[in-house]
Amino acid sequence: MAARNIGSVNSPHQSSGEPLLVVTNLVQEFSVPKRGSLRNATVSAVADVSFVVDRGETLAIVGETGSGKTSLARTLLGAPPPKKGGITIDGHDVTKRNRATRKAQSRLVQMIFQDPSSALDPTWSVQRIVSEPLQKLGLSRQERDDRVADTLRRVGLNPERHSRRRPSELSGGQQQRVAIARALVGRPALTVLDEPVTALDAATQSQVVELLAELKNEFGLTYLLIAHDLAVVQQLADRVATMYLGKICEEASVATLFSTPAHPYTAALLSAIPSFTPDERPRLRLLGEPPSPIDPPTGCRFRTRCAFAQEVCATVEPRLREVAPGQNVACHFPLGADGTPSTTVPAPESLGTVA
Ligand code: SF4
């Protein structure tokens, strides 16, 4: 986790209260070779995940490498489609892989990737890269050119100077601006930002975060932000969901999650950054090593790394439940405002599946 402060671009909460992305009981699994066996093993990358993102809102998904956040993002784009569960974007069921869905998909969701140099075709000009998503919209050549020039200007590039260049003739920050222009030129309903500034230097990161915030406010965009950098999350997101081994373990507004995290995993992530943990709250450490996603722990998946694990945590999976207005936590012994477990007996509402 990075601890830098890259400047404040916080904006008022823009959520409309109108669901745009609805994810229901989503499951994504992958087959991987199993050491010492001819059979493949199954990795449960996304395990029964449900959440909603309102129109105009930014939801950040945070977690360590291997938490399932990138698998979740790619599943939303249909690459690959989910094993089980539902995804609707702007009322369209995008799990249906028919022609109509594939055609609508690029207008429903676009993704901005971590590394623009590998996401942009090196042989194409900026003009061709940015105009490509417009090909299927039935616009005239002039309309497409005008839309591309407007969008390039809006992301801080000069159409006259930059549109004929190839990606290799641009800086990293300019390349990411081209990637943002390409993602937004078709006005998608949802934009997935996959670690959008991780590959950039610190000064450029700050500019790109500011640009993303401005574009969101100006066009009422809806973002799903995949990030491990909590400074970026704090500046761009309205709400945050923490993921661990394919499960959402906490979900709350940015203000609540950063001030009073109730799940020990969220508290441990924040504890790694001294400025994010008030002096009066104890700093939590992650115990041991991350378990294998091929064979996750029984009961609570976080129990092998949790300082507060008790017997019940090994046998009963905790359910996601509301512990404060808008704050949902999957833990039998959620943390109170002082950062210690607020209860010594599991609440009946937390008792989910028995292992
Ligand atoms: Fe820790 Fe138990 Fe809560 Fe899991 S359910 S986070 S092991 S206290």
| Residue 11 Cα distances to 7, 56, 189, 220, 238, angstroms | 13, 12, 20, 12, 9
With a cut of 90, say whether residue 103 has pLDDT above it. no
Any residues with CB less than 8 A from the CB of 73 and at least 6 apart, and which? 61, 111, 192, 194, 224, 226
- Residue 242 alpha carbon to ligand 1 centre in Å: 14
- Which residue has its alpha carbon closest to ligand 1 atom 3? 331
Q: What is the pLDDT of residue 343?
A: 80
Q: What's the whole-number average pLDDT of the chain?
A: 89
> How remote is the CA of residue 303 from the centroid of ligand 1, in Å?
5
- Ligand 1 centroid vs 330 CA: distance in angstroms? 8
Least confident of 3-17, 93-107, 140-154: 3-17
How remote is the CA of residue 346 from the centroid of ligand 1, in Å? Answer: 10
For the entire predicted model, the pTM comes to: 0.90
User: Distance between CA atoms of 73 and 180, rounded to whole angstroms?
Assistant: 17
Lowest-pLDDT choice from 129-133, 238-242, 285-289, 307-311: 285-289
Band (pLDDT 50/70/90 cuts) for residue 87 is: very high
CB 238 within 8 A of CB 226: no
Average pLDDT over residues 34-45: 80
Whose CA is closest to 29, among 63, 80, 77? 80
Q: Which residues line ligand 1 (CB under 6 A)?
A: 264, 300, 302-303, 306, 308-309, 313, 318, 331-333
| Contact (Cβ atoms closer than 8 angstroms) between residue 224 and residue 238 | no
Residue 318 alpha carbon to ligand 1 centre in Å: 8
- Of 21, 77, 71, whose CA–CA distance to 47 is shortest? 71
Identify which of 331, 340, 344 to mutate to test ligand 1's pocket (most ligand atoms within 8 A of the CB): 331
Return the ligand 1 atom nearest residue 346 CA.
Answer: 5
The topology (CATH level 3) of 21-33+40-237 is: Rossmann fold (3.40.50)
Domain boundaries, the chain: 21-33+40-237, 272-354
Residue 174: predicted pLDDT? 95
